Structure 1
Amino acid sequence: MLTLPVAASLHAAAYVAGTFDTKGRELMFVKQCLERRGLRVVTVDLSTSGRPSSASIHPREVARHHPQGEPAVFSKDRGTAVTAMAQAFERFVLTRRDLGGLVGAGGSGGTSLVTQGMRALPVGLPKVMVSTMASGDTRGWVGPSDICMMYSVTDVSGLNRISERVLANAAHALAGMMAHAASLPASASKPAIGLTMFGVTTPCVQALTRMLADDYDCLVFHATGVGGQSMEKLAGSGLLQGVIDVSTTEVADEIVGGVLSAGPTRMDVFARHALPYVGSCGALDMVNFGSWDSVPERFRARRLHRHNASVTLMRTTADECRAIGEFIARKLDAMQGPVRFLIPDGGVSQIDRPGQPFHDPEADRVLFAAIEANFRAGPDRQLRRLPLHINDEAFAQALASAWHEVAAPRQRARGASA
């Protein structure tokens, strides 16, 4: 078989991970497929049964990476053991300097184990997961990462005419990604920044990207929960120079109980990394649900708006806005880098204008007051209120100007080191 020219050109290895006590035959088949393509392969056993292992990396070696060591992993309770092994594997992969790609195969347990490690790896590093769980909602396993999920069709239990084809395809996909890394586009010569957009803040973000596109590679993220998580994943991986977080709407879903929450850790990455941050209140007037019939009974008497057949919006109340504002202020106060937060007094979304269904000046006033009252100001931490609507061209210009303020020292430092 013709092999890809990777063995001589790549120092990195393909890692094959899974529970070798139950999936050893299948995982070894993947290993053999990769070796036939010219790759060096490292096998990693994530079993918690204590049985002998045929893998390059023994389960106990992985388990030592758990914060509490091996005893935390090899406990009598299987559920606890698997959870602990996943935590150990997440830390383990970050120590491997030769890891050039990662492939796994398994059922629900194996998928949870392997993908927790995959999610810890940088975006762009090849990751392929063959799973019995891949034909459905994979958000819990993929999250904000670029994991390629492949449905196993048959169970990952033995080798047959179907499983061999699927596992071989997964191995060859990983080999191809490792051998043929995408060349960087022309936009990669410009620093990348993240921007968050929702349908009702689209005019603002589109105007903003036009203003910045000559100097920045503008990466726009749809603020649907996983969108905010993806932006912050890239920020934490060092792939963004900073963000203009126009649409913090995911916070409203987290506080009130909508379907597009990015979780309680939204914005926490900026407390760990001193990146420039410019933010605003985009679409904090709404909480998201699915179709009209999917709205929980406790919300049926609220102010609802049918956005389309699949999306129903609910207006946030003054009390909810107060909680949302306090949440955002706490996150802003914890940020380590320069901060500018701009408040649009004229409304926070396309449907928060006079005559529009979510226009509620009192709820907005409570939101803005909560942010302002709890915000910790400083020389490079500023809150600004503007007599503008979020989709006004002048508000986009103010966001662009704020970005240039916080990014300027970073750009000067880059220029001095060049």
Structure 2
Amino acid sequence: MKRESTLLTLLALVTAGLTMRPLLTSVSTLLPRLQSSMGVGNATASLLAAAPMVMMGAIACLAGGLLQRHSTRRILIAGLALLLTGTALRQWVGSGTTLLLTAALGGLGIGLVQMAMPGAIRQRFPSRSAAVTGLWSGALMGGGGLGAALTPWLAERLNTSLALSGWSALVLLALLLWLAVRLMEPARTESQQPRMRTALHRFPRAWSLALSFGLVNGTYASLIAWLPDSFMRYGWPAQASGALLALMIGAQVCGALILPLLGRGQDRRGLILMCLVLQGVGLSGFLFLPLTAPWLWAIAAGVGLGGAFPLALVLALDHLARPVHAARLVAFVQGVGFIIAGIMPFIAGQLRALTGSLHSAWALHLAIICGLMLLNLRFHPRSYHRAFPALADDAATTDNSCSGQTQESLCQQKTR
């Protein structure tokens, strides 16, 4: 691969990552202004963060079929085009309903890009996929921080509509870069895409992993949606509230890059519990001492959330030895998980409307974290094989069926 082509692909990857979260974080920092200028009600405000997450989950549930029918590059370009449309249309929205429609459209685009990007990374960087995936994750989270920090600043100097739709310029740049990138698509044959004989939804462990992933991301979604609003209710200006959210997301990037590297062996439970404890510290601070050390609470919650996200995905991958089975389990976990995550900011918004504050929402998430600690204690490596016995049998049957010199190289590739 030529050096120029590699650099172009990395630039396109990072730029696309930066576009994945401003759709969510830009709205949360301007929520009071949107409620007064567009008449955004409490229910609509709750859905502005929920709708994109639900769309991401719905797309992840369709991952297998879409990836078999369309090339990775085509899915990436389609996703960025949808995100560009949804973000640019915010220039002309005049009501909460139309703003919600742009959130759903953008969430659909984000879901497509997030679904296809791991495949693009494996195609272009097969020997450096872990490092490049970390770069992608860091860009994704960092983009959320930029959206939180810069949108209030843009709104003060331009206007609300331009501050929200201005992020379409970054999406357009990412789209143009990916139009210039060429990917070598692997051949799609039945031997390369073996079918599962047992559906994943039949396994309780698949649902447990999806629930854990979804509730962790639900805490992130609720903080993204409501943390700036909670501090604006304390009298903070929008830019300071956005900076607090940006700090939390910056800490999240650090947690995502550093904490997974601390693991030794296959037992992820210790690190996951550490992440959950840090989330609990942050939420406890926002609940009981919000104005005492808000920056500290934001850092603790961010590091915990950032570390939990990749660890939850690696935990799912660890359960199944065959790469194709593991990839489909991760798609299932993300599909169901993002739908669960999308529900949480809506619930938090309804609690805010009923009680007049977010204290009950933070208390709910603290209780969820305690439950997640108990749930994750069950994920001992010794339980992996017992959790998916039918899939282990499928793998053995498929591998043992390889015979003859014409299929020798294929068998070696499948069992590698």
Which category describes the TM-score, using the shorter chain as reference length?
A: under 0.3
TM-score (norm 1): 0.25
Name the structure with the higher helix share.
2
